[in-house]
Amino acid sequence: MSSWSLIGKVAVLFGAFFTLAAAPNLSAQTVTVETLRQLVAAFNSHDLDRVMSFFADDCVLEMPRGRDPWGTRYVGKAEVRKGLATRFEGLPDVHYSDDEHWVFGDHAVSQWTLTGTAKDGKKIRVRGCDLLEFRNGKIIRKDSYWKIVEP
């Protein structure tokens, strides 16, 4: 067995908590690791309609950057779409790879490497993760984090 990443260990701990907290809902689980792989594929296709098909109407997106401790928060499907559009505009060749996923009832963790080129030509390569919450198979909360890479 390969060594576990730190996020994998944290995911297992969160999983134990969420499994106990959401035990009555486990039989209704509609989210799988495959769902998360499809979400990454949608992001990599740069097809915003496809990406948004994973989100509920009352979703919330918290992006890593922003003036507040939680980054920039977008509330509602129309605002989340605008927020995600900024990702594709700011990094036109954005790509997610090296992804791993864990699902715990209606909660999930995705870990990935983001690469891309900013409009000013600067190359970006960072590790990050998303904490996701689902209702009826749709994302109601996506909270994104990534490492701060210093020059």
pTM for this prediction: 0.79
Interior CA angle at 12 toward 11 and 15, to 5°? 85
User: Which residue has 């490492």 as its token pair?
Assistant: 147
Q: Is the per-residue pLDDT at 95 higher than 80?
A: yes
Round to whole Å and give the CA distance between 121 and 10.
Answer: 35
Q: What mean pLDDT value characterizes the chain?
A: 87
Please report the pLDDT score of residue 23 as a whole number.
46
CA–CA separation, 103 and 133 (whole Å):
10
Q: What is the pLDDT of residues 44-72, one digit of tens each?
A: 999 999 999 999 999 999 999 899 999 99
Residue 82's H or E segment, with its range, is: helix 77-90
**Amino acid at position 12, single letter:** V
Quick: pLDDT tens for 107-138.
999 999 999 999 999 999 999 999 999 999 99
Domain boundaries, the chain: 6-55+87-146
> Long-range contacts: 112-117, Cβ < 8 Å, 24+?
112/40, 114/146, 116/91, 116/92, 117/91, 117/92, 117/93
Report the greatest alpha carbon distance in the chain. 50
pLDDT of 97: 97
Residue 59 in contact with residue 141, Cβ under 8 Å? yes
Report the SS3 class of residue 7.
Answer: helix
Q: Decide: 72 and 62 in contact? Cβ < 8 Å.
A: yes
pLDDT band at 149 (very low <50, low <70, confident <90, very high): confident
CATH number of 6-55+87-146: 3.10.450.50
